[in-house]
């Protein structure tokens, strides 16, 4: 990778001081046990923690995830939730245009999912603005309870919402990898979903590609987070658990937490 801010095929841990907060984070990005190429990538910059899962085959998927993260690296930090959302939306459209310029040898169009959090401000309260396009996920682990913040943009999720599948059926349905939104991949204008919640002291945020939740149930993820003494151990343990289950896809995990902030609830923006 030419860009040192884009993390792929590595494990990195860091600490950022931003917006009056201390953010401890750890990223593990692994190719898995089946795929030859790693199309996943992560970005960890002060106040910006994102994961992208590329598609389109070797090179194209890597280019797409890298371009998306490079573009979103300029997301503003510390602005109002509304201003941050506007800026992120504009950057997603810019990323869409960049990815659209890539060709593939197979004829498949390059594309990527993306999810993560950007630090914003809500009337003086440090607040995470989470967003997603596709089926990479952002979770919040707060007071011993794991909640999925993002909602998958996938065919099976639409069927779950319509009452046609249960969550258990969706996990093994052959259509589970069919996504309905992405950056690039021949999709129309990128439309992200946004959610906001205070940057609460002691809360843990998990940002991951579907290589994690495709192997582990939420209950299994929660047990690992509960048992881990810090983010570095948690990220490594989550990826190791996915590997033990076969890791049929690339697996990327970002685990982060803050100190020096107040508590609150998640709100869809």
The arithmetic mean of pLDDT across residues 216-240, rounded, is: 97
Q: What is the pLDDT of residue 4?
A: 81
Q: How many CB atoms lie within 10 A of CB 32?
A: 21
How are beta strands 48-55 and 145-148 bridged, if at all? unpaired
Average pLDDT in the chain: 91
127-156 residue pLDDT tens:
999 999 999 999 999 999 999 999 999 888
Would the pLDDT of 78 be above 90?
yes
The arithmetic mean of pLDDT across residues 214-243, rounded, is: 97
Q: What is the pLDDT of residue 103?
A: 63
Q: What is the pLDDT of residue 247?
A: 93
Q: What is the pLDDT of residue 137?
A: 97
- For residue 249, give the nearest of 211, 218, 216, 209 by alpha carbon: 211
Between the CA of residue 223 and those of 144, 236, 237, what are the distances in Å? 9, 14, 11
Q: What is the pLDDT of residue 159?
A: 86
Longest alpha-carbon distance in the chain: 50
Q: Which residue has the higher pLDDT, 175 or 221?
A: 221
Would the pLDDT of 58 be above 70?
no
Give the whole-angstrom CA distance, residue 47 versus residue 109. Answer: 31
Q: What is the pLDDT of residue 160?
A: 83
147-186 residue pLDDT tens:
999 999 988 888 887 888 887 888 787 787 788 999 987 7
The arithmetic mean of pLDDT across residues 83-97, rounded, is: 96
The arithmetic mean of pLDDT across residues 190-203, rounded, is: 95
The arithmetic mean of pLDDT across residues 61-84, rounded, is: 96
Would the pLDDT of 117 be above 80?
yes
Q: State which H helix or E strand residue 29 sits in.
A: strand 21-30
- Which CATH class for the 6-268 domain? alpha beta
Question: Of the ranges 45-59, 79-93, 219-233, which one carries the lowest mean pLDDT score?
Answer: 45-59
Would the pLDDT of 267 be above 70?
no
Band the pLDDT of 237: cuts 50, 70, 90: very high
Give 249's DSSP letter.
S
Where are the domains positioned within the chain?
6-268
- For residue 53, give the nearest of 164, 181, 142 by alpha carbon: 181
Percentage of the chain modeled with pLDDT above 90: 74
Q: Which residue has the higher pLDDT, 104 or 230?
A: 230
């Amino acid at each position: 990778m030419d860009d040192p801010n884009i993390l792929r095929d590595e494990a990195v841990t860091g600490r950022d001081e931003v917006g009056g907060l201390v953010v401890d984070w750890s990223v593990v990005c692994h190719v898995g046990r089946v795929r030859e190429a790693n199309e996943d990538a992560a970005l960890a910059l002060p106040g910006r923690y994102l994961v992208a899962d590329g598609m389109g085959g070797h090179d194209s998927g890597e280019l797409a995830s890298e371009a998306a993260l490079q573009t979103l690296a300029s997301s503003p930090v510390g602005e109002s939730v509304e201003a941050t959302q506007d800026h992120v939306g504009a950057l997603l459209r810019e990323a869409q245009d960049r990815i659209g310029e890539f060709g593939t040898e197979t004829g498949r169009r390059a594309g990527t999912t993306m999810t993560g959090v950007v630090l914003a401000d809500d009337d003086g309260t440090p607040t995470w603005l989470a967003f997603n396009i596709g089926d990479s996920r952002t979770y919040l682990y707060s007071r011993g309870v794991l909640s999925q913040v993002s909602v998958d943009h996938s065919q099976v999720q639409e069927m779950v919402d319509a009452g046609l599948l249960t969550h258990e059926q969706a996990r093994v349905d052959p259509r589970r990898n069919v996504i309905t939104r992405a950056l690039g991949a021949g999709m129309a204008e990128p439309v992200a979903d946004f959610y906001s919640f205070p940057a609460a002291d002691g809360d843990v945020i998990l940002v991951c590609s579907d290589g994690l939740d495709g192997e582990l149930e939420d209950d299994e993820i929660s047990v690992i987070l509960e048992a881990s003494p810090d983010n570095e151990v948690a990220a490594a343990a989550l990826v190791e658990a996915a590997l033990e289950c076969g890791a049929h896809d690339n697996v990327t995990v970002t685990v982060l937490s803050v100190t020096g902030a107040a508590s609150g609830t998640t709100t869809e923006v």
